[in-house]
């Protein structure tokens, strides 16, 4: 009795309807190395980071904005620059926007940094930006910053950190290279992080042994994170 339905399904889905060519609509063609998107509530626009150090807003009615002011200076060399952008879980009331970026240090070395500011009502300025996290030590000469940001259901902020192309550091828990860290929304260390109060280990660490994790997503059903590292598969 099921065979007619199976045959009909094969005719419907196996004969081309599921193989239609995707339709690509170009929204903007003047961005310079766009790195990340954050979608504002109520389809009111998309925040876009450009790696050279610009944050812009694209809106259906107005197109692409001029660069939003108040963005921190960035280390725009190699793979560095202005990287991820995410909205705070309470963005509707706080207007808080989080950015990750490569930050310059001594001797032309750099590391990942994270901070937040308040998006002004006219969407033209990121006000009162403050840095809440800095990768230590700074070891990168332009490689492997990680830099993906995501909030979990409890409002904790997770940050992926590349090993700055210093591979052994990913296994060294006294350094923040090759790690995923977990912080409060203000950049504090939660008391239940796995290495809190352990001598010689960084309390920010949630997991270690990563290369250059540039994918981080929260499963909306399980509440668990999945991460993906950039690497050459041989």
Model confidence over 7-17: pLDDT tens digits?
Answer: 555 555 555 55
**Span 118-155, pLDDT tens digits:** 999 999 999 999 999 999 999 999 999 999 999 999 99
Count of Cβ atoms closer than 10 Å to residue 142 Cβ: 18
Instruction: Indicate the SS3 state at residue 127.
Output: strand
Count of Cβ atoms closer than 10 Å to residue 228 Cβ: 14
Per-domain residue ranges of the chain: 32-229
Q: Using CA atoms, how far apart are residues 192 and 117, in angstroms rounded to an integer?
A: 27
State the DSSP code for 11. Answer: H
> What was the pLDDT predicted at 229?
86
Domain 32-229 has CATH 2.60.40.180: no
> What was the pLDDT predicted at 228?
87
Query: Roughly how many angstroms between the first and final C-alpha of the chain, as a whole number?
Result: 49
Cα→Cα distances 29→25, 52, 105, 186, Å: 11, 16, 33, 36
Helix (H) or strand (E) holding 179: strand 179-183
Mean pLDDT score, 72-100:
98
Mean pLDDT score, 206-213:
96
> What was the pLDDT predicted at 90?
98
Strand-pair partners of 86: 98
The rounded mean pLDDT for the chain is 92
Q: Which residues are known to be catalytic?
A: 144
> What was the pLDDT predicted at 20?
80
99 or 229, higher pLDDT: 99
């Amino acid at each position: 009795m099921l065979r007619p339905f199976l045959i009909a399904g094969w005719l419907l889905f196996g004969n081309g309807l599921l193989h239609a060519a995707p339709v690509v609509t170009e929204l903007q063609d003047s961005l310079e190395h766009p790195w990340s998107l954050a979608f504002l509530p109520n389809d009111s626009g998309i925040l876009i980071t450009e790696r050279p150090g610009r944050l812009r807003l694209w809106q259906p009615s107005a197109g692409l904005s001029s660069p939003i002011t108040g963005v921190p200076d960035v280390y725009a060399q190699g793979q560095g620059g202005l990287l991820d952008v995410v909205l705070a879980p309470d963005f509707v009331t706080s207007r808080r926007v989080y950015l990750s970026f490569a930050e310059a240090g001594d001797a032309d070395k750099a590391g990942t940094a994270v901070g937040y500011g308040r998006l002004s009502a006219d969407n033209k300025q990121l006000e009162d930006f403050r840095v809440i996290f800095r990768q230590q030590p700074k070891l990168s000469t332009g490689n492997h910053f990680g830099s993906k940001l995501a909030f979990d259901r409890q409002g904790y902020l997770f940050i992926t950190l590349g090993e700055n192309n210093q591979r052994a550091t990913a296994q060294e828990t006294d350094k923040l290279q090759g790690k995923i860290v977990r912080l409060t929304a203000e950049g504090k260390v939660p008391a239940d992080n796995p290495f809190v109060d352990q001598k010689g280990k960084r309390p920010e660490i949630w997991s270690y042994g990563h290369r250059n994790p540039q994918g981080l997503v929260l499963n909306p059903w399980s509440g668990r994170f999945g991460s993906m590292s950039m690497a050459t598969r041989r």
